[in-house]
Amino acid sequence: MAESEGAQRIDGKAIAESIHQSISQEVATLKERYGKVPGLAVVIVGERKDSQTYVRMKRKACLDVGIKSFEADLPATATEEEILDQVLELNANDEVHGILVQLPLPKHVNERKVLTAISIEKDVDGFHPLNIGNLTMKGRDPLFCPCTPKGCIELLKRSGVTISGKRAVVVGRSNIVGMPVALMLNNLDATVTIVHSRTKDPESIIKEADILIAAAGQPLMIKGDWIKPGAAVIDVGTNAVDDSTKKSGYRLVGDVDYKEAKKVAGYITPVPGGVGPMTIAMLLQNTLDSAKRGFAKEAA
Amino acid sequence: MAESEGAQRIDGKAIAESIHQSISQEVATLKERYGKVPGLAVVIVGERKDSQTYVRMKRKACLDVGIKSFEADLPATATEEEILDQVLELNANDEVHGILVQLPLPKHVNERKVLTAISIEKDVDGFHPLNIGNLTMKGRDPLFCPCTPKGCIELLKRSGVTISGKRAVVVGRSNIVGMPVALMLNNLDATVTIVHSRTKDPESIIKEADILIAAAGQPLMIKGDWIKPGAAVIDVGTNAVDDSTKKSGYRLVGDVDYKEAKKVAGYITPVPGGVGPMTIAMLLQNTLDSAKRGFAKEAA
């Protein structure tokens, strides 16, 4: 009952699942038509627990929808050259339509150099500067949009939120979320403001947002009374905070005070179960799109 | 007297001249040290009167500061391949440190293809998507920033306007001015909003700007009472409006109502004589910087 009085909860988990289903169907159709399936290579270097979890989730998601998963696991001691060689080998492999290098890489490796080595035609993470340049420029289209920002836009669209002409505020300006989502909202004709750590009085700016994307990585930074009544709130933050009532000793919270914000907002994503599941769904979508381009080219 | 009551007039012409002078000195120093001078190639296709005027101004500015000007004048009937060949030839020419293709190109030519063919190390216009991508991404630096946006920032800095932490509003989102200047302001820690043709109630947003960059190409669109008292106003607009009292039959006006705005603003650029002269100054600066990189590399 409380829920129905306030914001519509955007169920990212359910939306991601329905995207997985339609990808699964498309993969089956491709297999029938071309006798081939899309392939995604996930490169991991070293044994960070969190990275291993993410990579396992991505590989499992591939299997679930019928995308072929290529594993490239390098030891933490791998040299930059060995990693670059691995990327070049995957660039040359026709069965691989997407390459993702799990970040962070070990400190002795130049991350930028490795990411820039990925063929832009397989850059399913969308972080190659040429893809970002084409996302920034009017009249050009990137081959891929970064997955988490693309997931945010998808959640808005599937919830029936109009973007064109709306005031959008993006909190955070990272390469991975804040900046690309701001560019995508601008491309969709929202009037966008980017709020960041140097912004004075962020509250007054956030209060004007019809669409709020919170991607600051600051637990519960955005209070309920900062939300404009009826606003669509997409919370990208996933912050672990101590919680002695949990077995694990912590719980996950967003950048937005969900409990208070949902009383005011029109639409809101929970954490977890909001943006999180969309990132992998969009990764699969980018891989599928890449494979479709590849198969069409080969068939031509 | 009226002037002293209101905004400080930012004299772009004088600032550009002082930049020309210091470039001229640096060119002389380079010539002494390396026995070589920077080179700029300006490619023009066809005989549009306005393009010819711009190209002539650019070439003359080169001569004035001691930069060697390479002329590449192609007929309006030149094929795309001929233009591309010309660009590739200039890419390979060690004496050329900057290549600028005057736009617009004739309709039968793919402008994007030609611009992307320019070596990013000679892209003094800063429009290559890889340069724009690197401008967009935190932790990366483009080899060149687009000239007009760079000129706007230079005017603010030389006028002593603080950018970090300020609210900046950019009116217009073109590839050439609006978008790159917004990115540059964000990189300098301003809180940036981009206002465009689909923005509802632009007046209320513009009123909050400590720094206003007007690049909409809409004559006198921004009224005096839209300006926040004390704001720094950079007017990129250069619009010809009918004026029967002039011999030419027209006069140039900006996007801002200068007469009214200067009563309220803290700083303001006139049109003409504000941003205009800075574009060529920044083009020369980009060419100089490119030559310095080239000479240092050759000497290493």
Q: Do A138 and B165 touch (CB under 8 A)?
A: no
Contact A137 B174 (CB under 8 A): no
B87 and B174 housed in the same domain? no
Among chain B, residues having any CB pair with chain A shorter than 8 Å are 112, 128-140, 164-165, 167, 173-175, 179, 183, 186, 189, 191-196, 198-200, 205
Nearest chain B residue to A130 by CA distance is: B130
Residue B136 to residue B144: CA distance in whole angstroms: 12
Domain that holds residue B60: 35-119
- Whether B139 is covered by a domain: the verdict is no
A110 and A172 assigned to the same domain: no
**Residue B4 in this model has a pLDDT that exceeds 60:** no
Query: Model pTM?
Result: 0.96
Shared domain check, A167 and A106 = no
Nearest to A192 among B167, B189, B193 (CB): B193
The arithmetic mean of pLDDT across residues A128-144, rounded, is 96
Q: With 0-12 CB in 10 A as exposed, 13-18 as middle and 19+ as buried, what is B237?
A: buried
Distance, in Å, from the CA atom of B248 to the CA atom of B190, rounded to the nearest integer, reads 41
What are the backbone angles phi and psi of residue A47, rounded to the nearest 5°?
-130, 30
In a domain, B150, yes or no: yes
CA within 13 Å, CB half, A279: 19
**pLDDT-wise least confident of A263-272, B4-13, B32-41, B96-105:** B4-13
- Shortest alpha-carbon distance between residue B188 and chain A (Å): 10
Residues A167 and A242 in one domain: yes
Q: Is the domain of A106 the same as that of A182? A: no
CB B144 within 8 A of CB B126: yes
Among B139, B164, B194, beta carbon nearest to A191:
B194
Whether B123 is catalytic is: no
Asked if residue A172 and residue A105 are part of one domain, the reply reads no
Beta carbons of B207 and B146 less than 8 angstroms apart: no
Q: Is it the case that residue A39 has pLDDT exceeding 70? A: yes
Task: Judge whether B219 lies within some domain.
Answer: yes
Q: Residue A21 CB: number of other CB atoms within 10 A? A: 12
Out of B125, B210, B257, B289, the active site residue is: B125
For residue B125, indicate whether it is catalytic: yes
The answer, yes or no, to whether residue A89 has pLDDT greater than 90, is yes
pLDDT at A5: 66
Enter the tokens of residue A90.
């995957």
pLDDT-above-90 percentage for chain B: 97
Residues on chain A touching B104 (C-beta within 8 angstroms) = none
Give the rounded percent of residues in chain B with a pLDDT score beyond 70: 98
Write out chain B residues lying below 8 Å of A144, CB-based.
Answer: none
Q: Is A207 a catalytic residue?
A: no
Task: Single out the catalytic residue among B68, B86, B102, B235.
Answer: B102
The tokens for A186 are 């601008």
CATH number of the domain to which A80 belongs: 3.40.50.10860
Helix residue ranges per DSSP H, chain A: 2-5, 12-34, 49-65, 80-92, 111-117, 129-136, 147-158, 178-187, 202-206, 258-261, 276-299
Q: Is residue B221 part of a domain?
A: yes
In chain B, DSSP assigns E strands to 8-9, 39-45, 68-74, 98-101, 167-171, 191-195, 211-214, 232-235, 239-242, 250-253, 267-268
Other CB atoms within 10 Å distance of the CB of residue A11? 18
Question: How does residue B124 score in pLDDT terms, banded at 50, 70 and 90?
Answer: very high
> What is the C-alpha to C-alpha distance for residues A260 and A272, in angstroms, rounded to an integer?
16
| Mean local confidence (pLDDT), B263-278 | 98
- Among A11, A58, A262, A289, the active-site one is A58
- pLDDT, residue A300, reads 85
Number of domains within chain B: 2
Burial of B139 (0-12, 13-18, 19+ CB in 10 A): exposed
Do residue B175 and residue A132 have CB atoms under 8 angstroms apart? no
Please name the amino acid found at residue B21: Q
Instruction: Classify the phi-psi angles of A160: left when phi > 0, otherwise alpha if psi is within -120 to 50, otherwise beta.
Output: left
Give residue B179's pLDDT band: very low, low, confident or very high (50, 70, 90): very high
Chain B residue with Cα closest to A116: B130
Domain presence at residue A283: no
Predicted confidence (pLDDT) per residue in A247-274, tens digit: 999 999 999 999 999 999 999 999 999 9
Confirm whether B231 is domain-assigned.
yes
Q: Contacts of residue A194 in chain B, CB cutoff 8 Å?
A: 186, 191-192
Pairing of β A267-268 and β A232-235 = parallel
pLDDT band at B3 (very low <50, low <70, confident <90, very high): very low
Residue in B closest to A188 by C-alpha: B198
Residues B155 and B108 in one domain: no
Per-residue pLDDT tens for A223-244? 999 999 999 999 999 999 999 9
DSSP A159: T
| B138 vs A contacts (CB less than 8 Å) | 173-175, 179
- Considering the domain architecture, whether residues A168 and A256 belong to the same structural domain is answered as yes
Give the pLDDT of residue A282.
98
Q: Is A5 helix (H, G, I), strand (E, B) or coil?
A: helix
- A139 vs B175: CB contact, 8 Å cut-off? yes
List, for residues A152-206, the tens digit of each pLDDT value. Answer: 999 999 999 999 999 999 999 999 999 999 999 999 999 999 999 999 999 999 9
Cβ contact A136–B131 (<8 Å) = no
Cα separation, A230 vs A159, whole angstroms: 13
CATH number of the domain that A243 lies in?
Answer: 3.40.50.720
**CB contacts < 8 A (A, B):** 96
Q: Is the per-residue pLDDT at A61 higher than 80?
A: yes
Q: What is the mean pLDDT of residues B57-75?
A: 97
Closest residue in A to B116 (Cα–Cα): A130
Contacts of residue A189 in chain B, CB cutoff 8 Å?
A: 196, 198
Rounded Cα gap, residues B286 and B150, in angstroms? 10
Strand, coil or helix: what is A298? helix
Tokens of A84: 């670059």
Residue (of A218, A225, A207) closest to A263 by Cα position:
A225
Smallest CA-to-CA distance from B122 within B300, B298, B294 is with B294
Mark whether B72 and B188 lie in a shared domain: no
Tokens of A117: 């080595």
Find out whether A266 and A232 touch, Cβ atoms under 8 Å: yes
| Residues facing B248 on adjacent strands | none
Q: Which two tokens stand for residue A266?
A: 């029109």
A1 — pLDDT class (breaks 50, 70, 90): very low
Confidence check: pLDDT of B262 > 50: yes
- Provide the sign of the torsion angle of the four alpha carbons B266, B269, B275, B278, taken in this order: negative
pLDDT for A2 equals: 44
Name the residue of chain A whose CA is nearest to B210's CA.
Answer: A200
Q: What is the mean pLDDT of chain B?
A: 96
Kindly report, residue by residue over A191-229, the tens digit of the pLDDT. 999 999 999 999 999 999 999 999 999 999 999 999 999
Chain B residues closer than 8 Å to A196 by CB = 186, 189, 191
Interacting residues of B253 by C-beta distance below 8 A, sequence separation 6+: B219, B220, B237, B239, B241, B271
Structure tokens at A15: 């939306």
Asked if the Cβ–Cβ distance from B133 to A132 is below 8 Å, we say: yes
- Please state whether A273 falls in left (phi above 0), alpha (psi between -120 and 50) or beta: left
Helix (H) / strand (E) containing B85: helix B80-92
Q: Binning pLDDT at 50, 70 and 90, where does residue B5 land?
A: low
- Domain identity same for B258 and B180: yes
Instruction: Give yes or no for a contact between B286 and B98, defined as CB atoms under 8 angstroms apart.
Output: yes
Is A50 contained in some domain? yes
Provide the β-strand partners of residue B74.
B45
pLDDT bucket at B300, cuts 50 / 70 / 90: confident
> Do A158 and A239 fall into the same domain?
yes
Span B10-37, average pLDDT: 98
Q: What is the pLDDT of residue A133?
A: 97
* Residues of A engaging B, defined by a Cβ cutoff of 8 Å: 112, 128-140, 164-165, 167, 173-175, 179, 183, 186, 189, 191-196, 198-200, 205
Residue A71 class from Cβ within 10 Å (0-12 exposed, 13-18 middle, 19+ buried)? exposed
Asked whether residue A267 falls in the same domain as residue A184, the answer is: yes
pLDDT over 90, % of chain A: 97
> DSSP 3-state assignment of A191?
strand
CB nearest to B191's CB, from A135, A140, A194: A194
* Residue A291 within a domain: no
Mean pLDDT of chain A: 96
